[in-house]
Amino acid sequence: MEVFSQLMVVLTGALAHIGVPQEYCQLAALATIYLAATLLVTVLILALLRVTRKTPAGDDAPLAAAEKAADEPDAAPIAAVDMPSTAAEPDLSSRVETPDGLLRRMRSGLAKTNAVLVGRIDSLLGGGAIDDALLEELEEILITADLGMKTTQELVQAVRLRAQRGELKEVATVKKLLREEIGNRLKSSASSFDLDSAQPSVIMVVGVNGVGKTTTIGKLAARLVAEGKKVVIGAGDTFRAAAAEQLTIWGKRAGVDVVRHGEGADPGAVAFDAAKAAVARKADVLILDTAGRLHTKVNLMEELKKIRRVLEREIPGAPHETLLVLDATTGQNALSQAKIFAAMVEVNGLVLTKLDGTAKGGIVIAIGAELGIPVRFVGIGEQVDDLRPFDPELFVAALFGEEE
Ligand SMILES: Nc1nc2c(ncn2[C@@H]2O[C@H](COP(=O)(O)OP(=O)(O)OP(=O)(O)O)[C@@H](O)[C@H]2O)c(=O)[nH]1
Ligand SMILES: [Mg+2]
């Protein structure tokens, strides 16, 4: 208050000094203070607006556009979302790993399977002679770790034969034999997929509900972008309300375009528009998500065939890769899913997800031994860099808990 009175005195004096009539001086001083205060507040508001515009909220613009597009499915036949080139870059730092770092990550991902499989084998072998009782128990351990009946029996037989020949005097030799036998079986199930022979290369992702298809697509897109590829994603799961949204968030994270339609739209139409967009944008890779479906539902499997036909019509040879995603935590069920899916639609590659949360990682060995379909990737967590190309050597080393 005191400051205000002093200001009034100074201003009144100054105004009288420049010739303002005495009776108006006080009024003019008040008006001057009012004007100055208004100006100050305006400047403050402007400064505040500049600061808030720089926060990440600004990055939500494409997402908001995507949401709007999804809400208005009739607005345009193609509800494609163009992500700006400044879209959030995926954090790739963790992906640049040394082989040692990779082994460590894989080992921690496979820790549960390691405990069930190798941990139990260790304590079993610590027990003494390799006799029928021990072999029986070994069989039980291998089955519990989801190696499957066929592989289990082959492995036990291999141990039995070598023991009979007197070649397995030491515990370490038994473990070495198992490691070798498992490694050989896995080698046949590894091969990287070729994305360079076609442009765009089309990857169609299929599998039952909740196995990790959409998450895998997000991780894969980020991986391909990091390798310098231009990627377009098609949100072919029009069945679940949140599916396209989930994919858009992943697309944003990876910095790639997502082509989507509204809920309930024909997935064939999404495939069509996604293929058109991928060609028009000269993408290297188009990845198409599909709704989760039970492998036993014939009409849904027919729908997959239709989507394949649409892709083929738009891009010769497409889909170049049909990736079947399997949830490793379902153990033997994943194996039977794979068998039925592969019988209904052509499956070129497998992705085994959720290996981090399961003691059933042995399913990878069963699949390698029984299916003859290469495992392309394994998922070892929910983060963007938790999808790893399947490397049998690394997998066995991690499974057996070997040190770098
Ligand atoms: N721990 C772990 N969780 C995973 C992995 N992959 C996917 N998930 C989780 O599994 C859940 C289902 O993943 P989605 O990608 O939505 O599965 P989806 O197959 O697309 O599901 P639908 O579209 O409903 O058929 C999510 O909570 C993911 O975070 C993985 O490798 N490890
Ligand atoms: Mg999904």
**Ligand 1 pocket, residue 356 CB under 6 Å:** yes
Q: Which helix (H) or strand (E) holds 323?
A: strand 321-327
3-state SS string for 346-383: CCCEEEEECHHHCCCCCHHHHHHHHCCCCEEEEECCCC
Q: How far apart are CA 238 and CA 261, in angstroms?
A: 7
Residues 312-350 have pLDDT tens digits of 999 999 899 999 999 999 988 999 899 988 988 899 999
Which of 215, 297, 364, 377 for a ligand 1 pocket mutation test, highest count of atoms within 8 Å of Cβ?
215
Share of the chain above pLDDT 90, in %: 35
Output the pTM of the full model: 0.74
CA distance 153 to 386: 32
Nearest-atom number in ligand 1 for the CA of 386 is 31
Ion ligand 2 — residues with CB < 5 Å: 213-214
DSSP letter for each residue of 87-139: SPPP--GGGS--HHHHHHHHHHHTHHHHIIIIIHHHHHHTT----HHHHHHHH
| Pocket lining: 240 vs ligand 1, CB cutoff 6 Å | yes
Q: Is the CB of 243 under 6 A from ligand 1?
A: yes
- CA 161 to ligand 2 center in whole angstroms: 47
Crossing angle (nearest 10°) for helices 149-164 and 171-187: 140
Locus of tokens 């040190």 = 403
Question: Is the Cβ–Cβ distance between 361 and 394 less than 8 Å?
Answer: no
Query: Smallest Cα–Cα separation from 202: which of 118, 283, 293?
Result: 283
- State if residue 357 touches ligand 1 by the CB under 6 angstroms criterion: yes
Report which listed range, 42-56, 273-287, 342-356, 383-397, is most confident. 273-287
- Rounded distance from Cα 210 to ligand 1 centre (Å): 6
Considering only the C-alpha atoms of the chain, give the largest distance between any 2 of them, rounded to a whole number of Å: 122
- The atom of ligand 1 lying closest to the CA of 357 is 1
Sheet holding 257-260, edge to edge: 79-81, 257-260, 231-236, 285-290, 201-206, 321-327, 349-353, 375-379, 387-389
CA-to-CA distance for 336 and 158, rounded, in angstroms? 25
Q: Which of 209, 289, 377, 382 to mutate to test the pocket of ligand 1 (most atoms within 8 A of CB)?
A: 382
- Please tell me the predicted confidence (pLDDT) of residue 367: 86
Give the confidence band of 404 by pLDDT, cuts at 50, 70, 90. Answer: low
Q: Which two tokens stand for residue 178?
A: 């198992």
Q: Ligand 1: does its nearest atom lie under 6 Å from the Cβ of 384?
A: no
Cβ of 382 below 6 Å from ligand 1: yes
What pLDDT digit, counting tens, does each position of 190-210 carry?
Answer: 676 788 888 999 999 999 999
Backbone angles phi, psi at 222, to 5 degrees: -65, -40
**How far is residue 257's CA from residue 289's CA, in Å, rounded to a whole number?**
13
From the CB of 219, is ligand 1 less than 6 Å away?
no
∠ Cα 377 379 385 (to 5°): 95
